[in-house]
Homo-oligomer: A and B are copies of this chain.
Amino acid sequence: MNTPVRFYFDFSSPYSYIASAWIDALAARHGRTVDRQAILLGVTFQAAELKSPVAYPIKRDYSVRDFARSARFHGLPCRLPEPFPIPTQNAARIFWWLKDTRGEAAAAEWARAGLAAVFQRGLPLNDAATLKAVAAGAGLDADAAEAVWNDPVWKDRLKRANEEAIAAGVFGAPFFIVDGEPFWGNDRQPQIERWLSSGPF
């Protein structure tokens, strides 16, 4: 049974940024591929009647500290854009355009480039000029990328991805589904590893 590991992420989620750095190697070690799904956390939060951890002042202080520490724990640089979080629907629409027209590898490359832009360079991916520059830096045609995020086709595609995620029980990011089993959070890495190496537990 070699179904892909489904990996839901949001371009504005620091823990998704961290998970994006280990999920491919982890899956590959166990003969799996990764099926990335760009979603909007805000939409899944709303469906589950939740709010972002950074919407609560006390939890926000801890979370910002924990983002940075967790990144260091995984050997990654971490910087938060200012303001944070930012709306990332345009970056997500580019993701779906690439996934549906060029395949998983191109979409994964864009996911990594977008997450690195936000969390290594602190760039506001919600700003059109910034996003175009990041797209160009990732080897994409910046004008084509801008046309994509304004295109109802790709707006609908992202909407459908959000709806499918909600239907699958996703209420946060990163969120993983492995052989039908849901795992929420970057910190479920050891459990996912055990599942992939020795099966259900």
Which of A's residues lie within 8 Å of B, judged by CB? 47-50, 56-59, 61-62, 65-66, 69-70, 72-73, 169, 171, 182, 184-185, 187-188, 190-191, 194, 201
- For chain A, what secondary structure do more than half of its interface residues adopt (helix, strand, loop), or is it mixed? helix
Are B182 and A62 within 8 A (Cβ)? Answer: yes
Determine how many copies of this chain the complex contains.
Answer: 2
Residues A169 and B61 in contact in the complex (CB < 8 Å), given A48-B56, A56-B48: yes
Are B58 and A201 within 8 A (Cβ)? Answer: no
Are A73 and B169 within 8 A (Cβ)? Answer: no
Nearest CB of chain B from residue A58's CB, rounded to whole Å: 4
Complex: A124 Cα to B194 Cα, angstroms: 33
Are A169 and B69 within 8 A (Cβ)? Answer: no
Residues of B within 8 A of A56 (CB): 48-50, 171
| A-B pairs, 7 with minimum CB distance | A187-B187, A48-B58, A58-B171, A72-B201, A73-B191, A59-B171, A49-B56
Complex: A72 Cα to B59 Cα, angstroms: 28
Residues of B within 8 A of A169 (CB): 58, 61-62
Complex: A57 Cα to B61 Cα, angstroms: 26
Are A187 and B184 within 8 A (Cβ)? Answer: no
Complex: A69 Cα to B59 Cα, angstroms: 25
Residues A171 and B62 in contact in the complex (CB < 8 Å), given A56-B50, A187-B187, A194-B73: yes
